Structure 1
C-alpha cells in the first residue's frame, strides 16, 4: 500500500462506524420498511375484533403480514362487523377501517358474473350450452368461439388463465405496476381469438374465461359495458351504493384505502376494462359485501341459482356458476369465493343450511381464507409450518444485503483505488434495495434494514474521507474494476425497478 493511500486512524474509523450504526438504525425505525401487522386500533364490535386478532395472530394477536382488515358475520337478519388495524397510508397505529371503508374486492367479483349468468338464463337471454361465438361474433371460426358459456362459468373451457396481452404483462406486476392497463375489452376478445383451447385439461381457473363470459352477458343484455350490467341487475336493485367497477383511473372511488406489499410499499391499481368481469378493479365496502352475502342467504340475490353446484372442480370441490362448494367441519357445506389483487385479499363464505356467512377484506397480500374459515366454524386456524426452502429464501435478501455491505466497507477501508471501491459501494446499495423489496417484513421491522444500511453508510463516509489519497484506477486489472462498476450500476437499476 502506498503512503498516500494509508488507512484512516483506528479511532476515526471506529467513530464513523458507531455514528453510521446509530444513524442507520434510526433511519430504519423511522423511515425503513414497515412491518405489516395489525395495530391496536379497532372499530365496530369489540368481541368480534378480539376473535379476529386471536384467529390472525399466531397466539400473539398481531396479525403478522396484515395491515388492516374488515370482517362481518352475517345471518339472514343480522350483521356484526369489526375493523382492525391501520387503514391510512401512514405508519402505525393509524385509523381503524369501518364498514364504509372502501377496499378492492378482487375475484369475489366473479360471484357477480356467475349471478349475472344465472339471471340471464332465467331471463332467456342466454342458455348454458350457448357457445361464445353466438354472443361474440368476433370469435367465429376460432377454438375459443366453440366453448360454452357453462364451461366458462365452471373453469372447464380449456382456455388458459390469462390472454396473451395480460400474460405478457405479468412481469409488470412483479415490478409493482398495473398488469391489466393494456387489456381492453377489445384486446381480450382478440387474445381469445388466438388463445389455445385444450378441452382435455383438468378444470383450470381462468380469469380470461370469466372475463369472456361477462363480456358475452353484456352483449346478450344489449348494454354498453360490464359496470352498467352490474349496476342495472345487482348493485342497483340491492342498494349496494358503495360498489364501483373502475375501468380507468378517473373512475377510481375517492377515499379507497391503498394496498400494500409485505414491505409497506403502496401497490398500483389494476384498472382496465378487459378483465373487470373477473375482478381486476372492483371497489366495495364491508357494508355492501354483507348485503351481497345476506341476499344469498335469503334468496333475494339476482341469479341465486348460481350457488348450486353443476360440476366437479377437483377431488374435494364442486363448482356452480363460479361459486366453489366444499365440505366443512361436522357435516357443514361451505359455498365460497376468495379474491386478490395487488396489495388486497378478500373472502366470502356461506353456510346456507345454517344461515351463516363470513365476509372479510384486507389491504395487504396475506390470504384471509384461514382466518375467515376459523370465524365461520369457530375453530382454531390451521398452523402451517413454512418449508425449509421458504425460510432460506426469506433469509437470503438479509444475507446478501449484509454480505454486499460488509464487502463495500472492507473495500472502503483497505482499497487503494477509488473505482473498484465505488463498484462495491453500488453493489451494497443494490443489496439494500433488494432487502427493502423482498425482506421478511411480516416478521421483523425496519430496524433490520437499518443494520444492513450501517456498513454501506460507513463505507460511503470512509470512502469520502479517503478519496483524495486514493488513485482513481488500480495498478492492475483495470478492466475488472470497470466491470465491477458497470455490474454495480446495473444492479442498482434493477433494485430501483424492484423497489
Structure 2
C-alpha cells in the first residue's frame, strides 16, 4: 500500500502534462489589419485588452463619408477579417423592425395604437390587446422569450450546454402560439426587453402586408438602402460564404442561431460593417425609410429613452442613439450621435462585448464608455470553470479512498472525473482566469482514476443497504454523463 501515493502522484502528473496540450485558450485579437489603416489603429486603441476578441469589423461614418476596417482573424484558421466579412448580428435588426413600423405608420397602413390582434387576427390570446407601439418599445409586458413548457426550458438549457441554437424550431406558428399562451404582465407600460414582443411586431406587420417578414423587410428597407449583404439564414446551409466564425471564452465555436419566427428580433440575420454603416448613415441623417423610429418616445432609465427599437442614452453632454446584439459567439453595436452626424458599427466574433469600442470611437470618454462585458457575468464564468474543473477529480479521490466504497460508485465517479473537466473547459470563462488551471484539474482527475484502479479489486460491486437504489442512481448518473458528453462533442 505504500506505493499507492506514488502511483497516484505519477498518474496525476501525466494527466496534467497531457492536459497542457488541450487546455482552454481564450481568443485573442491578432495584428492583422485590412481596410482603412487609421480607423484600424483608432479601433485598436479603443480596445482595453485584446484578450477575449478574435476579430473585429468596424465602420465609421463622419462628415458624410464611410470608412471601414477589419482587425484580427475571422476564424480559427487565421483568415483575416475584411470590411465585407459577414457577422451574425443578433438583436441589431430589431431597429429594422421598429423602422418598419414607423414606415408603415407613415404610409397609413397601420397606426401606433393599433392592437396586435387587429393587425394579426390569428392571435387570439390576451396578448392581442397590446399595441404595436408597446411592442416596438419593449413596453408590452410580455416575457423576454416564449417558454411555454418544461420542454422549452430543457431545450434552452441544452442549447446553452451544447453551444447549440436556442431558437431551433421556433417558426412563425410557434411565435403566434407563444403570444396566445402569454398575457401582458404587471410591467406593461415599462421598458422590459422582449425578444418575443419584437418578433410578434414584425410578424404582425408582415401578416398585415400579406408577405412574410424577410420579404417585407427586403422590399421596404434593405433594398432602398442598398443593404445587399444583410441576409437571413434559414438553415445552416444558407449561412454566408467566408463568414466570420463565432467563439466563446474557451474558443469553442457555437452553432448559428436560426429561427424564422424570431427573425424580426434579429435571429438568423447576418450582415457586414459596410452594410450596417449604410443603415446608420441614412438613419442619422433622416433619409432612411422609417427613420423617425430613432426618435425617443418613452423613458427607460434616468438617462435613457427608447423609440421604436432604437435606444437613446445620455453620456455627459452627448446623446447616443444605438442598439447592440449578442449571440453565443458574436457581439455587435451600431450607434450615432445626431448632433454631430458621427456614427459607428462594430462587429465582433466572440462573446466579448464591443459596446465600449463603439462608444469610444464616437468620442465618449473612456470612463463613461465602460468596459467590455463577457458572455456570462464574470463570477458565473469563473465559478463554472473552477468548480467543474476540479470537482470531478476531488470527488473521485474522496470516493476511491474512503471506507465503504463500492465499484458502482467508483465507476460513476470515474466517468464524472472526465465529464466535469470537459464541462469546465467548454463553459468556463477562461478570459477571466488563466487556462493553466485546467491541466491542474485534469491532474486531479488523473490521480483520482489511479486511486480508483488501485482499489478496484478489493471493492464490492454494490455495497449499498438498498442495492436496487444504488443501481438506479448510478444508471441515471451515467445516462446524464453520456448525454452531456454527446452535447459537448456535437
TMscore range, shorter length: 0.7 to 0.9
Moved more, 8-17 or 259-268: 8-17
Question: What TM-score does the superposition give when structure 1 sets the normalisation length?
Answer: 0.85
- 1:282 correspondence with 2:265: no
Hey, what's the Cα distance between the residues in 1 that align with 2:391 and 2:187?
49
Aligned residues between the structures: 476
Hey, what's the Cα distance between the residues in 2 that align with 1:408 and 1:454?
12
Change (3 A) 1:470 1:137: same
- 1:146 correspondence with 2:129: yes
The counterpart of 2:80, out of the listed 93, 96, 112, is: 96
Change (3 A) 1:72 1:413: same
Moved more, 300-309 or 37-46: 37-46
Alignment of 1:69-468 (within 5 A): 69-90=56-77, 94-140=78-124, 142-165=125-148, 168=153, 169-175=155-161, 176-198=163-185, 201=188, 202-223=190-211, 225-329=212-316, 331-380=317-366, 381-382=369-370, 391=379, 394-395=382-383, 397-408=385-396, 419-444=408-433, 446-460=435-449, 466=454
- 1:50 correspondence with 2:41: yes
Extract unaligned runs of 5+ from structure 1.
1-5
Hey, what's the Cα distance between the residues in 2 that align with 1:395 and 1:471?
36
- 1:34 correspondence with 2:25: yes
Hey, what's the Cα distance between the residues in 2 that align with 1:393 and 1:108?
25
Larger Rg: 1
Change (3 A) 1:24 1:322: closer
User: What do the CA deviations read for 1:144-182 (whole angstroms, capped 9, x no partner)?
Assistant: 222221221122222222224596443243232222222
Hey, what's the Cα distance between the residues in 2 that align with 1:149 and 1:187?
19
Q: Aligned to 1:377, what secondary structure does the other structure show?
A: coil
Change (3 A) 1:56 1:463: same
Change (3 A) 1:443 1:474: same
2:16 is matched with 21
Q: Aligned to 1:106, what secondary structure does the other structure show?
A: coil
Hey, what's the Cα distance between the residues in 1 that align with 2:434 and 2:480?
25
Question: What TM-score does the superposition give when structure 2 sets the normalisation length?
Answer: 0.86
Hey, what's the Cα distance between the residues in 2 that align with 1:394 and 1:162?
27
What is the CA-CA distance between 1:77 and the residue it aligns to?
A: 2.1
Change (3 A) 1:172 1:125: farther
Q: Aligned to 2:321, what secondary structure does the other structure show?
A: strand
The CA RMSD measured in Å over matched residues stands at 3.2
Q: Aligned to 1:88, what secondary structure does the other structure show?
A: coil
